[in-house]
Amino acid sequence: FREDYSDIVLEHFMCPRNVGSMNDADGEGTCGEPGCGDSLTIYIKVQNNVIVEISFLVFGCAAAIATSSMATELAKGKTIEEVLKITDEDVIEALGGLPEHKKHCSNLGVQTLKKAIEDYYKKNAHKE
Ligand code: FES
């Protein structure tokens, strides 16, 4: 198990950042990976177009936990436009790589980030 993962992946798996739900989120999104059954929910708070708070709950494998943690770290403090440009390759690179059969796990983080932003747009459309 350990040999398959970079030190950064192991570290984020054992000590994930931004874990938890958020009651007063401005947007939230949930995605599931049908292949493995893992699922992820991301919550965001937005101020002046910037993600000021972000948290996640994941039901999944070690790589899903590490990639969710890293995806939220990459998104925190960025503008919505910047976050929409984050790719799974960015997440994998920030983690120092992922084994081939675990690459789909990073997709979950990126897709769910986009869903949370979509939800934020939906909830705030009437205010603009
Ligand atoms: Fe499917 Fe990790 S094994 S998200």
Residue 114 buriedness (CB in 10 A; 0-12 / 13-18 / 19+): middle
> In this structure, which amino acid lies at residue 74?
L
Is 122 among the domain residues?
no
CATH number at residue 44: 3.90.1010.10
Number of other CB atoms surrounding residue 47 within 10 Å: 9
Q: Tell me the CA–centroid distance for residue 65 and ligand 1, in Å.
A: 9
Does ligand 1 have an atom closer than 6 angstroms to the CB of 109?
A: no
Active-site residue flag, 105: yes
Q: Rounded mean pLDDT of the chain?
A: 94
Residue 42 pLDDT greater than 90, yes or no = yes
ipTM of the complex as predicted? 0.95
Boundaries of domain holding 24: 2-117
Does ligand 1 have an atom closer than 6 angstroms to the CB of 108?
A: yes
Is 91 among the domain residues?
yes
pLDDT tens readout for residues 81-100: 999 999 999 999 999 999 99
> 126 or 35: which carries more pLDDT confidence?
35
Q: Tell me the CA–centroid distance for residue 42 and ligand 1, in Å.
A: 16
Nearest to 71 by CA among 89, 59, 47, 98: 89
pLDDT at 1: 63
Q: Which of 15, 31, 36, 61 is catalytic?
A: 36
Encoded tokens for 55: 């948290």
Encoded tokens for 7: 């030190």
